[in-house]
Amino acid sequence: MGVILSGGAQRRSRRTSGASAVEGQLREEDVVAAIASIAGDRLQRRIVLGIGDDAALWQPSRSHRSAITTDMLVEGVHFTRETMTLEDAGWRAMTANASDLAAMGARPLLATVALGVPAEYALEEVRELYGGLAAAAASVGMSIVGGDLSRAPVLTIAITAVGEVRPSNLKTRAGARPGAVVAVTGDLGAARAGLDVATNRVALHSEHSAIALRAFRHPEARVAEGRFFAASANVQAMMDVSDGLSTDLHRLSIASACGAIVETVPVSAAAREAAMQTGEDPERYALAGGEDFELLVAIGPRAFAHLSRRFAARFNRPLHRVGVLRAGAGIQFRGEPLTPTGWDHFLTSS
């Protein structure tokens, strides 16, 4: 961090003379001031030094381990301005990071934000984006402590989030054993249906439309759910479903050296309605849709009934049983092998 968000080293482009703004161009100091005013008042007690120096500082918990995760979102790859506002894009980007921390059982603590902003952007647009970032951070108790700011050909958002977890509560993708019940914290596919709504590919019943758009533009990280599972010794493995159930279940299975049998795919009602209109298989919305940010957990079989009752009582919604882990490798679904079919953005056209 140069100033706050001042950008690192090696600016190779030619500078215009003096410190005055080029007509119609963003001035770094204005952007920084705008961002600092949004981020500044939300610092947690343990943040010793926030925005404004070479680095930010915090006092780590003595009894916890620290967790770190990073995600980069690129306009045209991960989002387009046609399908969501900049505030939504900021919210989603921060939520994706919080979700990764939730998946470890960690409590989110702080985040840094590196923004690449096209030259034609107005200060108001950066402020809008940052409003979404700050709101999502605050919603899970995270402080934005610093970042970087650069010009870039398309809007680029790179977030790093830090959280903390007790060593005894840590959950990873590994450690699940054959026989474990696989479950997710919510039904899946609504975010994908929301993309269909946002691109006018489908027109849903108003309640489904609102649910789908919210899942797509304003998802919630399952932080409380993650900490609930983290506290249970019967939860053998955990991760978030960010790339579609089939891809992410493959990852959990591989990390745990198991196979899996999928019995039921919990498809959101909004995704079912969207699938009816697009003619696609509704289960594909859940298996390959991605970005639902629910948690995928592997639970010891004898503990499942009790834990799912406790989950329902605590969170007012069901824990969805998806299937079971088995010895061996690969995922079976209705007697057929299920391949990973989530998003791989290195295999995309345009």
In the complex, what is the shortest distance from the CB of residue 13 to a copy of itself, in angstroms, rounded to a whole number? 4
Which residue type, as a one-letter code, is found at position 296? L
> Which whole-number Å values give the CA distances from 276 to 192, 282, 285, 325, in the listed order?
14, 7, 11, 31
What Rg value do the Cα atoms of the chain yield, rounded? Answer: 21
Q: Between residues 68 and 305, which has the closer beta carbon with respect to a copy of itself?
A: 68
Calculate the CA 118 to chain-centre distance: 24
Nearer to a copy of itself, 22 or 233 (CB): 22
CA distance 242 to 248: 7
Of 91 and 304, which has the nearer Cβ to a copy of itself? 91
Listed residue (220, 110, 112, 226) closest to 166, CA to CA: 226
Query: What DSSP character marks residue 148?
Result: E
DSSP for 164-218 reads: EE-GGG---SS---TTPEEEESS-B-HHHHHHHHHTTS----HHHHHHHHHHHHS
Rank residues 19 and 233 by Cβ distance to a copy of itself and give the closer one. Answer: 19
DSSP lists the bridge partners of residue 181 as: 299, 324
Rank residues 93 and 258 by Cβ distance to a copy of itself and give the closer one. Answer: 93
- Smallest gap, in angstroms, from Cβ of residue 275 to a copy of itself? 17
Nearest distance in Å: CB 165, a copy of itself: 7
Min dist. Cβ of residue 56 to a copy of itself (A):
5
Question: How many CB atoms are closer than 10 A to CB 306?
Answer: 12
Count Cβ atoms within 10 A of the Cβ of residue 311 and give its class: 0-12 exposed, 13-18 middle, 19 or more buried. buried
Question: Nearest distance from residue 184's CB to a copy of itself, in Å?
Answer: 15
Q: Identify which of residues 145 and 262 has a Cβ nearer to a copy of itself in the complex.
A: 145
Is the dihedral angle over the CA atoms 42, 45, 51, 52 positive or is it negative?
A: positive
CB of 194 to a copy of itself, least distance (A): 10
* CB closer to a copy of itself out of 218 and 326: 218
Q: To the nearest whole angstrom, how small is the minimum distance from the Cβ of residue 203 to a copy of itself?
A: 20
